[in-house]
Amino acid sequence: MIAARYLRARRKEAFISVIASLTMVGVAIGVATLIFVMSVMNGFRGELLDKILGLNGHFTAYPIESQFTDYKETVDALQTVNGVKFAVYYAEGQVLASGRGGSTGVSVRGMDEENLKKLTLLYNSAEQGGFDSWDQNDGVAIGYRLAQTLGVGLGDQVQIINPDSGAMTPFGSTPQIKSYPVRTIFNLGMVEFDSLFMFMPLQTAQDYFKLYDDVLKPGQGPLDPMASDEEIDAAYERIYRASGAEIFIDDPDNVAVMRERIAATPGLRPLLLNDWQQRNETFFSALQVERVVMFTILSMIVLVAAFNIISSLVMLVKDKSKDIAVLRTMGATRGAIMRIFSITGTTIGVVGTLSGLVLGLIVAANAEALRSSISNLLGVTLFPPEVFFLSSLPSKTDPTEVTVVVVMALGLSFLATLYPAWRAAQYDPVEALRYE
C-alpha cells in the first residue's frame, strides 16, 4: 500500500514522479527495441534460408571419375536414402544475356518439368506465363529483375552468348549465339535469384551447352567415309549428361549425418557433395555474429533504464527520509522499509517491461507495413532490396528470445532497486528527525 502511494504523484513530488515515468518509458523502449530488432534478424535469417534452400539444395552433388550420364538413375537412388526429401538433376552454364534494354551475365539452369514441380518455391512464383508444358517449351524463364535489366517482357527475344561452346575454326572457337523467347517471368522475392537465374528446358540447355556425346550404336561397324548425313545420324546415338544434382533433406541442420548416409548408399556412383553450410558459411556466420552484437548493444538501453531506476529511487528515498523515520519509530523494521522501496522500483520495471513487450510484439508483427508507411512518408527507400537481398522486411518472433529479453529486463529492474532500498533501510530515525 505504501509503495503504491509513493508511485502516485502529489503536487510537491511531481518532479520525482516525472523521473519515474520517464524511467518506465525507457525500460519499455529498450524492451520493445530488443524484441523488434531480434525478430527482424530472425526473419532475415529464416527468409534467406528458405529462399536459398528453396532453389538450391541442402547438398549439391557433382559427378567425379566419369561423365554424369546416369543422372536419372543417380537421383532415383538418392531419393531412397532415409532422410532425403527429394533430389533433382540439372544442366548449368554461364552466359551473357542481351535484350532491348541492356546486357548482363546470367546463370542458365536447364531442368525438366518433373523436377521443376519439386521446387515449389520456383514453380509457384511465376507472375507472368507459367511452367505448364515446360518440356515442350522453346523459350526461357527469367526473374522479374533480370527482365527489367534486359528490358524485355513476355514473348520478347533474349539473346544468350556462350564463348565456350561455339564451332571450332582454324582461329579457335567462335562464341555460340542463340535467341530464345521469354515464356515465363517469376518473382522469388530475393534480389540475387531474380536478377541472376534463367531457366530453360533440360534438353534445350543440354543442346546449347553441348552436354552430350555422340557414340556409335552397339553393333555398328565403321562408317563409310562417303556416308550421307542421314546415315551418320542413324549410326550414332546421342548420350546426354547433366551438370549435377541438388539434394533436399528433411532436417537442414543434419548435414553431417546425411553426408555419411548418402556416401554409404549401396550402388551409388561417386559424387562430390557440397552442403549448404559450406556454400554459405561466411554469410550465415556473419549474420550470427551480427545478431549477437546487436543483442548486446541494444541490451545497453535496458541497462541505462535500470540505472535510471536507481537514480529515481535515490531521489525518492531522499525525499521520503522523514516518512522513513516516522515509520521506523512506529515499529517498521529495516526489512519492511527495504521491501517498500524494492516494490516501488520493481513496479516501474515490471510496468515498463510489460509495456515494451506489448509494443515490441505489435511492431514486430507489422514490420513490413511500418517500413512501407515510413518509406512513403519520407520519400526514401528503407532497407533497399539491392543491399538486403529481400524485397520485403521479414519478421519472425522467437518466443525463447522474447522470454530472455523479458526476464533480463525484470532481473535488471529488480537488481537496480536493491541499493536504494538498502540505503533507505539504513536511515537512523533519530538523525532523520533531529531537525524536523
For the segment 213-231, what is each residue's pLDDT rounded down to a tens digit?
877 776 666 666 666 666 6
Q: What is the DSSP string of 375-390?
A: HHHHTS-SS-HHHHSB
Pairs from 65-72 (Cβ < 8 Å, separation ≥ 24): 65/269, 65/270, 66/269, 67/213, 67/241, 68/241, 68/242, 68/243, 68/244, 69/213, 69/239, 69/240, 69/241, 70/269, 71/241, 71/242, 71/245
Say which range, 228-242, 246-260, 360-374, has the weakest mean pLDDT: 228-242
From residue 347, alpha-carbon distances to 40, 327, 361, 414, 421 in Å are 29, 21, 21, 9, 13
Tell me the pLDDT of the chain averaged across its residues: 82
For the segment 368-417, what is each residue's pLDDT rounded down to a tens digit?
788 778 777 877 766 665 555 566 677 888 888 889 888 988 888 888 88
Higher pLDDT residue, 203 or 432? 203
150 in Cβ contact with 106 (< 8 Å): no
Question: What cell was used for 310?
Answer: 536507481
Residue from 131, 44, 31 nearest 404 by CA? 31
**Predicted pLDDT of residue 158:** 93
Region 340-344: mean pLDDT is: 83
Give yes or no for residue 431 having a pLDDT over 70: no
**Predicted pLDDT of residue 220:** 66
Percentage, residues of the chain above pLDDT 90: 18
**Predicted pLDDT of residue 109:** 92
Region 266-295: mean pLDDT is: 82
For the segment 51-87, what is each residue's pLDDT rounded down to a tens digit?
777 778 889 999 988 888 899 999 999 999 999 999 9
What is the rounded distance in angstroms from the CA atom of residue 73 to the CA atom of residue 86?
A: 13
For the segment 113-162, what is each residue's pLDDT rounded down to a tens digit?
999 999 888 888 888 888 888 888 888 999 988 999 999 999 899 999 98
User: CB within 8 A of 82, min separation 6: which ones?
Assistant: 261
Taking the model in full, what pTM does it have? 0.66
**Predicted pLDDT of residue 276:** 84
Residue from 143, 78, 88 nearest 111 by CA? 88
16 band by pLDDT with thresholds 50, 70 and 90: low
For the segment 291-331, what is each residue's pLDDT rounded down to a tens digit?
788 888 888 888 888 888 888 778 777 777 777 778 877 88
What is the rounded distance in angstroms from the CA atom of residue 110 to the CA atom of residue 90?
A: 6
Residue from 207, 367, 280 nearest 60 by CA? 280
What is the rounded distance in angstroms from the CA atom of residue 98 to the CA atom of residue 96?
A: 7
Give yes or no for residue 11 having a pLDDT over 60: no
For the segment 168-183, what is each residue's pLDDT rounded down to a tens digit?
566 566 788 899 999 9
CB atoms within 10 A of CB 232: 12
12 band by pLDDT with thresholds 50, 70 and 90: low
Question: What cell was used for 164?
Answer: 565456350
Beta strand pairing status for 244-249 and 84-98?
antiparallel
